[in-house]
Amino acid sequence: MDKHEFASEFFLSAPDVEKTYGLDLTTAETIRAGLIEASRHMRTTLMRGAFSNVVREVLDFGVSVHNVNPDGSTEMVAVTEGCTHFAFTHQHMVNMVLDEWGLENLGPGDTLVCNDPWRGSIHFPDINLIRPVFVDGELAFVLSDASHLTDIGGPVPGGFNSQATSMFEEGLRIPPTLITSGDVPVRSTINLILENVRTPMHALGDIRALFGTLRVGERHLRQLVDSYGVKRVKSGCAYTLDLAERRMRQAISAVPDGTYSAAVLLDDDGSNTAGQPLRMQASARVGGTHVEIDFSGTDSQARAATTTCWEETNRCLVGPKVTLDPRHPMNAGAMRPFHVVAPPGSLVMGLPPTSQSMHTEVGAKGASLMLKIFGQMLPDRAVAPDSGSTGSVVYNGTDQRHGHDSQPFGGVTCSGGSWGGTPTGDGISHNTSPIFSTSFTNVEYLERDTPMLLRGISASIDAAGAGKFRSGFPAFVAFESRSDDTVLSFLLDTGRFPSAGLRGGGPGMSTYLMELNIDDAGGFTQWNGLLPLDHVEAIAGCFGDGGQPTPGAGWGAGKAQTLKLSAHELHKGKIIVCYQAAGGGYGSPLDRDPELVRRDVWNELVSLDFALDGYGVVIEPGSLIVDEAATERLRAELRGAGESGWAPPPAHYRSWPRTTDDLAQLRARALRTGRTTVNS
């Protein structure tokens, strides 16, 4: 449809629907809902059936339904909640894989498998299945699903090899390959996968779940076809796609024509050589209801694994989707108004055989970049940047607990950073980037099924970027393993460059990794994420004097020169602690309601020091009552300092306890009964 048709008329009346699609509006909407319903049944099946924690708990999967166009291209008509990026990648992947395989070569009961990022997958650990659906002997629809396997072989258990300089150091690469033919599993393909991974039982369980999920999707799609006939269901698909396109074009039409650009920095390429930061640059040019996104000016592909190979051409559309039309169900129609330029050889279009094992951090920063750019288009909807890091800890090894026979184990936890402040409220806490939106682990399952113990998870005090509306609070997580054969990989960034605030807001805390010994009592002591520094080994992050976490202090004090660590050995008797980065604050913290600051202090989310330094709010230590007169005086003074004088400081706790006694005193002070206020 030409964009000018949309400029004057975005809405379709019921007679328009009847005329354009040959369907009454109720039927068109019923078919649209029916397609989504098919994807929801697929989701439920996959979550119930999958063996890996990364699928059933972390929700790192995607399921979608595609319509086949007369020219052989396909368009995703329905997708449901899972890991967000599949809602963009599968539209390209299904087209790229089917173009290569040839639609004319597919028959009923065939299923293709592919995990190749150069063909639209995200990384080798994702197993993507694609299944044609024939009606009356004609290819009418395609179903696809994907999930992240616990392991895909290669040198690093779990598949995230940050030091890889080529894909040959990652894991198994699977070009489009038949995994079922006529509904019978292709033995050679199944064996190829199971014999190349460390967790074959989980892999087989997940592959069966993926296959069953496609069968369930097909059954529901056929019910829809039985009710309405294939011709009308396909008309309903056209209606569904056009509706999403119309909504997106309507939203774009409200954006002034012009070019909007921004850049973001990643810490490093993961090579652990204190390398240069990586810079992603992009612009979005808006003309009418068409948008061209261009990554020109981005750094060339990394020497180590922090690169992506195709997926940013579609994942970048999370920016417009979240900013311009967040409420409508996603489908390929919402992608039609966009062209994306990603120059070959750049960080977002790495050439084979580059490694893109740490694609996650490019994805997270890419989403931040797009929210920055699209936020400029509609300033009312701009939000401060989120953590810009995946924040995942990947664990693998053999289970040496009694009775577990050294069986392989593995999984992923996504404890979440935080989102930035918004024009109307504080950012969300413990949440991953909008391009992932994955969930945290079920701790009981983790500790039953693996030797891993979650020793702690909570908000980190003073971590949120200050603002009129502050960012959310990121998680700190502490893990122990009861097996000496345990390795961890960390998908982390935002260690060197804290997420900035917006419109006067302050930067959030940056990312830290630390390790300490389990104490004589068999555990460890912390208070709101603070540890006694004399007992802590700094692994990675910006540490100042004496190991004090200090934003911008450089890598120096840490054991590693990167937060993208692969195969880090976690020995018995040790606890590894990961502090996720926070998002930035929105608006000047001097404009934050002092009562909101007091509540954060009461809840031990903000210290008295940071209330003073970061917000200009004076709170009496014993009673935790705001001294309103002193606060007004201080804020007036800070405002008077003007642009050159005062800016919100980067969020972090200023003076960590050194000894266990210091820590005990901190805890005791917090717990004493001097408070006269009640939190409401």
Helix (H) or strand (E) holding 246: helix 230-253
Closest CB to other proteins among residues 106, 617: 106
Q: Quick one: which segment of 129-137, 434-442, 488-496, 516-524 binds other proteins (CB under 8 A)? A: 129-137
Matching residue, tokens 């949309």: 6
CB of 436 to other proteins, least distance (A): 21
Which residue among 294, 399, 462, 493 contacts other proteins (CB under 8 A)? 294
User: Under the criterion CB under 8 A, does residue 106 sit at the interface with other proteins?
Assistant: yes
Encoded tokens for 439: 């969930």
Interface residue with other proteins, options 37, 57, 60, 110 (CB under 8 A): 110
Asked if residue 79 binds other proteins (CB under 8 A), the reply is: no
Q: Decide if residue 229 touches other proteins (CB under 8 A).
A: no
- How far apart are the C-alpha atoms of 330 and 264, rounded to whole Å? 26
Closer to other proteins at the Cβ: 109 or 423?
109
Pick from 12, 130, 164, 342: which binds other proteins (CB under 8 A)?
342
Question: Token pair 């014999």 is at which residue?
Answer: 195
Residue 453 binding other proteins, by CB under 8 A:
no
Site string for other proteins, 244-283 (x = CB under 8 A): -----------------------------------x-x--
Stretch that binds other proteins, among 45-53, 122-130, 330-338, 524-532 (CB under 8 A): 330-338
Spatial separation of the C-alpha atoms in residues 310 and 363, rounded to whole Å: 11
Binder among 10, 134, 602, 646 for other proteins (CB under 8 A): 134
Task: Give the Cβ contact number of residue 622 at 10 Å.
Answer: 11
- Binding other proteins (rule: CB under 8 A), the pick from 118, 419, 469, 527 is 118
What are the backbone dihedrals phi and psi of residue 40, each rounded to the nearest 5 degrees, phi first? Answer: -70, -40
Of residues 160-179, those binding other proteins (CB under 8 A): 175, 178
Residue with Cβ nearer other proteins (310 or 469): 310
CB of 180 to other proteins, least distance (A): 9
Is 285 a residue that touches other proteins (CB under 8 A)?
Answer: yes
The one-character DSSP state at 109 is T
How many CA atoms are closer than 13 Å to the CA of 279, on its beta-carbon side?
9
Q: Can you tell me which of 299, 325, 462, 613 binds other proteins, judged by CB under 8 A?
A: 299
Judged by CB under 8 A, the residue of 301, 355, 431, 562 near other proteins is 301
CA angle 139, 141, 146 (to 5 degrees): 125
State the Cα angle at 576 between 572 and 579, rounded to 5°: 170
Q: Is 109 in the site for other proteins (CB under 8 A)?
A: yes
**Residue 171, Cβ neighbours under 10 Å: how many?**
28
Distances in whole angstroms, Cα of residue 1 to Cα of each of 5, 10, 238, 325 = 7, 12, 12, 19
| CA 270/CA 276 separation, integer angstroms | 10
Among the listed residues 22, 212, 288, 544, the single contact to other proteins using CB under 8 A: 288
- Alpha carbon 280 to its chain's center: 17
Alpha-carbon span 460 to 290, nearest angstrom: 43
d(Cα 502, Cα 511) in Å, to the nearest integer?
Answer: 20
Q: Is 344 in the site for other proteins (CB under 8 A)?
A: yes
Name the packing angle between helices 230-253 and 25-49 (round to 10°): 90
Distance of closest approach, residue 47 Cβ to other proteins, in angstroms: 28
- Exposed / middle / buried, residue 341 (Cβ in 10 Å: 0-12, 13-18, 19+): middle
Q: Does 442 bind other proteins (CB under 8 A)?
A: no
Q: Site size for other proteins, by CB under 8 A?
A: 67
Nearer to other proteins, 96 or 193 (CB): 96
Q: CA quadruple 12, 18, 22, 28: dihedral positive or negative?
A: positive
189 binds other proteins (CB under 8 A): no
Give CA–CA dist 251/335, Å, rounded.
13
Shortest CB 336 distance to other proteins, Å = 5
Q: Is there binding between residue 361 and other proteins (CB under 8 A)?
A: no
For position 137 contacting other proteins by CB under 8 A, the verdict is: yes
296 binds other proteins, rule: CB under 8 A = yes
Residue choice 60, 75, 485, 515 for contact with other proteins (CB under 8 A): 75
Site mask, other proteins, residues 27-66, x = CB under 8 A? ----------------------------------------
CB nearer to other proteins: pick between 341 and 453: 341
Q: Within 310-329, which residues bind other proteins (CB under 8 A)?
A: 310, 313-314
**Separation of CA 375 from chain center:** 19
Q: Which stretch binds other proteins (CB under 8 A): 14-22, 332-340, 503-511, 641-649?
A: 332-340
The residue among 107 and 546 lying less far from other proteins, judged by its C-beta, is: 107
Among 44, 48, 182, 676, binds other proteins (CB under 8 A): 182
Structure tokens at 80: 């449901």
**Rounded CA separation 447/172 (Å):** 29
Name every residue whose Cβ is closer than 8 Å to that of residue 415 and which is 6 or more positions away in sequence.
Answer: 391, 393, 430, 440, 457, 475, 477, 578, 580
Instruction: Determine if 95 is a binding residue for other proteins (CB under 8 A).
Output: yes
DSSP 8-state code for residue 563: S
Site string for other proteins, 596-625 (x = CB under 8 A): ------------------------------
- ∠ Cα 331 332 333 (to 5°): 90
Residues in the chain: 680
Residues forming beta bridges with residue 263, ordered by sequence position: 281
Q: Is 239 left (phi over 0), alpha (psi -120 to 50) or beta?
A: alpha
303 lies in the binding site for other proteins (CB under 8 A)? yes
Pairing mode, strands 452-459 and 258-266: unpaired
Residues near other proteins (CB under 8 A) are 73, 75, 91-92, 95-96, 99-102, 104-110, 118-120, 133-137, 175, 178, 181-182, 279, 281, 285-288, 290, 292, 294-301, 303, 309-310, 313-314, 332, 335-336, 338-346, 349, 351-354
